[in-house]
């Protein structure tokens, strides 16, 4: 029996997926997971909804308990174990614990260190009244602060997914909530038409928008936080930083593991680094964009889980490539669902396509059926071929899940004609006779 030893750095989505998969395929192998916090396998995407009060108990966010990881999956899980150094040539890692330091050898190593919240480089004063949201500890700090201090006014800095979700969460807790963003439009992943609909929804739900506002400093005033901007000083009871994330790749980079785009760990399609027995997966690793064929940094939950699973399969001896991503994402802003996939118009131009935008206003259901509502679709297609390059939707929550049809279309290189030929389901409670996807293809052919 050729027994091997896998060491995993990080016990969340990618790490536990990889460890669990190896144990399924190679139960005789020793699998050690080193996690520096008290938590593993939790639903990070659910944290804003817990803070809003939609999820009653934080335990509902736990996907796998440490006890089950050990007893049911037979994983050697070690909490509060921080890896401080990797020795790729010697196949070992250095570990720091509350009891001291030691080294652990490995045959295979999976780096699943995730990402870190982006913090302003200058003018930022660390404060107990300035929060980020990366893990359950951060979530508990925010929840405790609100319960104990009964704040009335807060600011969310950043116009990306987490910024939108947290602005809604704080409004749901009854707080006067301001969104501060340096651009007129929100995250660059949204086309301007979609961004405008999101801003309108936020304003209609009482979020104060401070756009085109550059932050120069954030200072702790003792009983509050002052955000110094190019337009003056803004005062809040607390501030949330939603500026995005950066890969937690310092540990890998310090030992000679090659880094790629935005400092993420460079891997091949089998999730291997430049050391064949060292793999990386999840938010710390780069991947390939399926359309541009260029490396991208896309820290999203499905990617992390898939990569962890495939890394585990590959370490166990199977050859299962991870093909890449389209940057598909979906979220909600109050009653508005928002979804996107593929290239933006600007990205399509950059990658030498000849893109055209196809806007469409339609109904989510038959117009006479109760709760039918407006669905806005924005399709990006190649003008010469009709090839679908991207799609963005805004409308009722259930309606924007149609983004998955566009994901399928893009991955299978479908054109507007191909989409129009699809035999999609129809009944009044679900869609008009011409589903918005079909209608977009029908209208879109006029643009090509």
Q: What is the CATH number of domain 119-243?
A: 3.50.50.60
Question: Which of 218, 202, 220 lies closest to 210 in space, CA to CA?
Answer: 202
User: Within the chain, which residue ranges are assigned CATH 3.30.390.30?
Assistant: 337-444
* pLDDT at 126 (0 to 100): 79
For the chain, give the percent of residues with pLDDT over 90.
96
Structure tokens at 192: 């301007």
User: What's the distance, Cα to Cα, between the start and end of the chain in Å?
Assistant: 61
Q: Where are the alpha helices (DSSP H) in 229-288?
A: 250-254
Tens of pLDDT, residues 125-155? 778 999 999 999 999 999 999 999 999 999 9
Q: What is the C-alpha to C-alpha distance for residues 154 and 82, in angstroms, rounded to an integer?
A: 34
- Among 3.40.50.300, 3.30.1180.20, 3.30.470.20, 3.30.390.30, name the CATH number for the domain at 337-444: 3.30.390.30
How big is the chain by its Cα radius of gyration, in Å? 23
Compute the average pLDDT of residues 40-57. 96
- The phi, psi pair for 382, rounded to 5°, reads -80, 125
Enter the pTM of the model. 0.95
Tens of pLDDT, residues 3-38? 999 999 999 999 999 999 999 999 999 999 999 999
* pLDDT at 1 (0 to 100): 56
Which fold would CATH assign to domain 5-115+246-315? Answer: FAD/NAD(P)-binding domain (3.50.50)
- Alpha-carbon distances of 73 from 13, 30, 177, 331, rounded to whole Å: 15, 12, 44, 32
C-alpha torsion 360→365→368→374, nearest 10: -40
Residue 2: which pLDDT band, with cuts at 50, 70 and 90? confident
Tens of pLDDT, residues 78-126? 999 999 999 999 999 999 999 999 999 999 999 999 999 999 876 777 7
Paired strand residues for 392: 340, 378
Tens of pLDDT, residues 365-391? 999 999 999 999 999 999 999 999 999
User: Within the chain, which residue ranges are assigned CATH 3.50.50.60?
Assistant: 5-115+246-315, 119-243
Q: Does the annotation mark 45 as catalytic?
A: yes
């Amino acid at each position: 029996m050729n027994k091997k030893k896998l060491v995993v750095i990080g016990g969340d989505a990618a790490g536990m997926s990889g460890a669990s998969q190896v144990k399924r395929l190679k139960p005789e192998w020793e699998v050690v997971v080193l996690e520096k916090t008290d938590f593993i396998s939790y639903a990070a995407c659910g944290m804003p909804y817990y803070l809003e009060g939609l999820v009653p108990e934080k335990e509902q966010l736990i996907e796998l308990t440490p006890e089950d990881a050990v007893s049911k999956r037979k994983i050697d899980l070690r909490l509060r174990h921080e890896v401080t150094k990797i020795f790729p040539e010697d196949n070992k890692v250095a570990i720091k614990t509350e009891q001291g330091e030691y080294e652990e050898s490995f045959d295979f190593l999976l780096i699943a260190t995730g990402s870190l919240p982006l913090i302003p480089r200058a003018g930022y004063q660390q404060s107990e009244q300035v929060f980020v949201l990366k893990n359950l500890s951060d979530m508990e700090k925010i929840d405790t602060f609100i319960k104990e201090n009964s704040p009335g006014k807060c600011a969310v800095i950043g116009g990306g997914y987490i910024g939108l979700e947290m602005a809604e969460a704080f409004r749901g807790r009854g707080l006067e909530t301001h969104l501060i963003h340096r651009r007129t439009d929100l995250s660059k992943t949204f086309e301007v038409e979609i961004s405008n609909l999101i801003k309108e929804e936020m304003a209609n739900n009482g979020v104060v928008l401070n756009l085109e506002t550059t932050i120069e400093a954030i200072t702790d005033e003792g009983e509050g936080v002052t955000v110094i901007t190019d337009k003056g000083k803004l005062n809040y009871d607390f501030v949330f930083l939603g500026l995005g994330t950066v890969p937690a790749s310092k540990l890998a980079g310090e030992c000679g593991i090659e880094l790629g785009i935005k400092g993420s760990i460079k891997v091949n399609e089998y999730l291997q680094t430049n050391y064949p027995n060292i793999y990386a997966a999840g938010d710390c690793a780069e991947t390939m964009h399926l359309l541009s064929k260029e490396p991208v940094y896309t820290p999203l939950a499905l990617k992390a889980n898939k990569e962890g699973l495939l890394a585990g399969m590959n370490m166990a001896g199977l050859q299962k490539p991870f093909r890449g991503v389209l940057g598909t994402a979906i979220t909600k802003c109050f009653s508005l669902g928002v979804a996107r996939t593929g290239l933006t118009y600007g990205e399509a131009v950059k990658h030498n396509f000849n893109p055209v935008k196809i806007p469409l206003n339609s109904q989510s259901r038959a117009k006479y059926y109760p709760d039918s509502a407006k669905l806005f679709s924005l399709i990006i297609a190649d003008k010469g071929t009709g090839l679908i390059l991207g799609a963005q939707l805004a409308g009722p929550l259930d309606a924007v899940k149609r983004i998955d049809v566009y994901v399928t279309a893009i991955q299978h290189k479908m054109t507007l004609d191909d989409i129009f030929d699809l035999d999609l389901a129809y009944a009044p409670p679900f869609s008009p006779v011409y589903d918005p996807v079909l209608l977009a293809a029908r209208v879109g052919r006029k643009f090509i």
